[in-house]
């Protein structure tokens, strides 16, 4: 499949588990890539005219939402945000992943390598733990990126393989003039339905086992882990604080705390936080108050972002940001861009970013292994194994 220059498709679920009617895709007739990005979104929605917007919010939008400068080095030459108005939309009440009948046709010219060696990663985590011990932060999401070069004949087929191997309820694909973002995300950043806002952060990961009894044991260990619960509750508190800036009095609720959900390669701990807002809350104001996703920064949010800039080797780009849409009535749904493959068909650059939460009790070597675990779904989609990478 060869989509138009701008293309978006999402498969999302409502909190209650019903299919979201916005499994939508289209082609572009206008895009916003303005230095004052949130203002551009505000102006678009003021215009009305039934505008449906789709696109991405890049992690470096933090410069506008949180006044944190981005890392000077970047992999892809991207605006921090791009939204487009589709010429065509197609809606479906079903969001099943189709069978893949075509080979994506991957020809490697440069094999994937992580931007941190194991030794460098462990040293960086040690430095981050010093800040934790000093009380500068309570938790920090630290990431690395696997990068290589390839020619992929059909990235859209690769997206379906990624989703088939590692299905996530907030999967999405975005194509913009040769750049592909393929995300089998299990995480919702922010959804709005009428006056209700919902966020469902993930913090807490355990591997799966092929042995049913062993797998159930790993699941129970995750549910009982003090470390994973501590990571999760810190982000729940951060999200509650973000939503409280938008919420009607006494309306912020933790609908589910420490829920355990199973995916093909990992078990995850997911919590659900919601609030009620004024009817005329602008989508841009909701994004301004809550972005970037707290699960991808740490806490306190601004201090964590400053330390991320100091310790990571390059910009995150669309990773750790969000793919999503805003509908004409102001409802919206945004995922967290994780479990992803990012590919530039012009340069051949391919990137798999992964990361995890660092707390005062973290074991640096174990955190590195968690990053390897989280890369498995994307590597499998590319026809690779974790042993094919020179870690």
234-278: pLDDT as tens digits: 999 999 999 999 999 999 999 999 999 999 889 999 999 999 999
What span, in angstroms and rounded, lies between the C-alpha atoms of 106 and 152? 5
What span, in angstroms and rounded, lies between the C-alpha atoms of 34 and 218? 47
The catalytic position among 60, 64, 139, 203 is 203
Average pLDDT for 205-214: 94
Confidence of residue 329 (pLDDT cuts 50, 70, 90): confident
Residue 130 DSSP code: H
State yes or no: pLDDT of 42 exceeds 80.
no
What span, in angstroms and rounded, lies between the C-alpha atoms of 332 and 137? 31
State yes or no: pLDDT of 14 exceeds 50.
no
| Domain ranges, ordered by start, for the chain | 6-388
What span, in angstroms and rounded, lies between the C-alpha atoms of 9 and 55? 10
Q: How many Cα atoms are found within 13 Å in the side-chain-facing hemisphere of 354?
A: 23
Question: 6-388 — its CATH code?
Answer: 3.60.120.10
Look at residues 148, 178, 106 and name the one whose alpha carbon lies nearest to residue 346.
178
Residues 147-200: pLDDT tens digits? 999 999 999 999 999 998 888 889 999 988 899 999 999 999 999 999 999 999
What span, in angstroms and rounded, lies between the C-alpha atoms of 3 and 174? 10
What span, in angstroms and rounded, lies between the C-alpha atoms of 39 and 315? 23
Question: Is-catalytic flag, 369?
Answer: no
Confidence of residue 37 (pLDDT cuts 50, 70, 90): low
Provide the token pair at 228.
């994973």
Provide the token pair at 144.
């690395």
State yes or no: pLDDT of 43 exceeds 90.
no
State yes or no: pLDDT of 4 exceeds 60.
no
What span, in angstroms and rounded, lies between the C-alpha atoms of 361 and 384? 32
Question: Is-catalytic flag, 255?
Answer: no
> If you search the block for the tokens 């046709």, which residue do you land on?
105
User: What pTM was computed for the model?
Assistant: 0.91
The catalytic position among 9, 60, 187, 367 is 187
24-33, 41-50, 164-173, 232-241: which has the highest mean pLDDT?
232-241
The rounded percent of the chain whose pLDDT value lies above 90 is 71
């Amino acid at each position: 499949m060869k989509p138009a220059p701008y293309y978006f498709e999402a498969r999302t679920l409502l909190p209650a588990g019903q299919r979201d009617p916005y499994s939508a895709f289209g082609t572009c007739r206008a895009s916003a890539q303005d230095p004052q990005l949130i203002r551009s979104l505000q102006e678009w929605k003021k215009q009305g005219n039934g505008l449906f917007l789709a696109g991405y919010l890049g992690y470096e939008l933090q410069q506008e939402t949180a006044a944190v400068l981005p890392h000077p080095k970047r992999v892809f030459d991207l605006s921090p945000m791009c939204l487009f108005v589709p010429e065509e939309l197609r809606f479906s009440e079903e969001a099943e992943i189709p069978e893949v009948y075509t080979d994506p046709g991957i020809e490697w010219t440069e094999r994937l390598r992580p931007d941190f060696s194991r030794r460098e990663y462990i040293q960086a985590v040690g430095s981050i733990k010093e800040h934790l011990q000093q009380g500068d932060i309570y938790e920090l999401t630290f990431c690395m990126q696997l990068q290589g070069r390839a020619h992929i004949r059909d990235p859209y087929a690769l997206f379906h393989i990624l989703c088939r191997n590692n299905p996530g309820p907030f999967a999405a694909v975005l194509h913009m003039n040769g750049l592909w973002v393929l995300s089998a995300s299990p995480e919702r950043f922010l959804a709005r339905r009428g006056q209700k806002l919902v966020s469902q952060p993930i913090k807490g990961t355990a591997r799966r086992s092929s042995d049913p009894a062993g797998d159930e044991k790993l699941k129970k260990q995750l549910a009982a882990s003090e470390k994973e619960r501590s990571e999760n509750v810190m982000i729940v508190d951060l999200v509650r604080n973000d939503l409280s800036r938008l919420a009607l009095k006494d309306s912020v609720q933790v609908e589910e705390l420490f829920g355990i959900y199973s995916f093909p390669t990992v078990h995850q701990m997911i919590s659900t936080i919601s609030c009620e807002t004024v009817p005329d809350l602008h989508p841009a104001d909701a994004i301004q108050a809550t972005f970037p996703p707290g699960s991808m920064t740490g806490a306190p949010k601004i201090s964590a972002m400053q330390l991320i800039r100091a310790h990571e080797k390059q910009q995150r780009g669309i990773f750790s940001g969000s793919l999503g849409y805003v509908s004409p009535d102001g409802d919206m749904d945004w995922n967290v861009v994780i479990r992803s493959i990012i590919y530039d068909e012009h340069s051949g650059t391919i990137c798999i970013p992964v990361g995890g939460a660092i707390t005062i009790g973290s074991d640096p070597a174990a955190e590195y292994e968690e990053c390897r675990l989280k890369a498995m779904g994307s590597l499998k989609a590319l026809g690779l194994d974790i042993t094919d990478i020179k870690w």
